Amino acid sequence: MSSTTLSVILFPTRLCLWLLSLLYWTLVYGTAGVTACMVLIRIAWRGLRDPHTTFRWTVRNRPPACLRDPALGTHGYLRCRSSGLRLHFVSRGKSRKPLMLFLHGFPENWYSWRYQLREFSMQYHTVALDLRGCGDSAAPYSLEDYTLEKLLDDIRDTISGLGHTRCVLVGHDWGGMLAWHFALERPDMVQRLVVMNAPHPASWLDAVLRRPSQLLRSGHTCFFQLPLLPEIALSLEDFQLVRSMLCGEYAGIRNKARRLTEADLEGYLYHLSQPGGLTTPLNYYRALLSNTPYRHQDMGVACMLIWGEADGILVEGMSGGARPYTWGSVVVRRIPDCSHWVQQDQPETVNKMLWDFLLQRESPQY
């Protein structure tokens, strides 16, 4: 078959993919524009009413005590073989035990896994990583340093740098997206996969194209594609939007017994308040969203998706979206009245689900 004939045959498929990509980015930047207008109106309104409070934020000079609590684990650093970057982590348990590696999301750091670090350290070498650009890990400023390939190299180098060849990989939010991609790319290094409130990469595109209105539910993801304005908006009123994300009535932790204290909040705000402390985490959104998920779908690693049903951050209807894209066993567990911050909101429930999955107490659901 000649190359000309092949090109003619493939032309309809290529055209469809191009049109889908065009529609995708039109929706993304259209939503970003709408969200930006809403944010600017909010800034102007609050600035006129109380400019002193609105345009104020404080750089924290010392890390809070919660980040130095020895009961949570031992702090350590490793040097990535691929990039040379130094990544920070907190670990518990003996290193000869199987590795359980935790990947956090935004605007969090390793501290979001405090309930799981202790729970599983008797049976596993539990490690909560500060992803590059976050917490005490190295924070390169360029957007090119946050491509999917480099982020996945960090996970691979972390596993091998800790002296392991495989791990139970647990991720939440963008850490969950990285976990999905890593299991797709390197299934040989993932014993089991647990993802919390992060859709399968292919289901994200599917949901957006089927119901474009869903993007409004996750408008922050599109808004973060814009330069500079997200950093300003998140900093205003001493990081009020960040506080609202984690503690607000709509998006924040719903379990009254587990709501973040001011000290817990400072555990996140300390790093975000440093110069450039918001830009490097936001680079994840700016880089990862550009990886429209056409290339990988099927995955054979046994996985569990945990979804807080009261998620005010991500679009609805994605909690079951992993099943069409996995040919290995997949368990989908939903937690009613639980926010996006599932491992902090309902730690006892999440930990029990993890134990059941790891010990195979429940038959896989398809």
Q: Which of 173, 206, 311, 345 is catalytic?
A: 173
Tokens of 217: 């539910």
> Amino acid letter at 279?
T
Helices 201-210 & 174-185 angle (0-180, nearest 10)? 120
To the query of whether residue 270 is one of the catalytic residues in this protein, the response is no
| Listed residue (285, 269, 260, 262) closest to 234, CA to CA | 269
Q: What percent of the chain has pLDDT over 90?
A: 66
Model confidence pLDDT, tens digit, residues 118-138 = 999 999 999 999 999 999 999
Instruction: Give the count of beta carbons closer than 10 Å to the beta carbon of residue 227.
Output: 10
Q: What is the pLDDT of residues 226-283, one digit of tens each?
A: 999 999 999 999 999 999 999 999 899 999 999 999 999 999 999 999 999 999 999 9
- Distance in angstroms (rounded) separating the CA atoms of residues 232 and 273: 11
Q: Is 130 marked active-site?
A: no
pLDDT at 148: 94
CA–CA separation, 240 and 45 (whole Å): 15
Choosing from 285, 311, 325, 345, the catalytic residue is 285
Q: Which residues contact 59 (CB under 8 A, 6 or more apart)?
A: 273, 274, 275
On the question of pLDDT at 219 being above 60, the answer is: yes
CA 173 to mean position of chain CA atoms: 3
To the query of whether residue 285 is one of the catalytic residues in this protein, the response is yes
Residue 17's pLDDT is 66
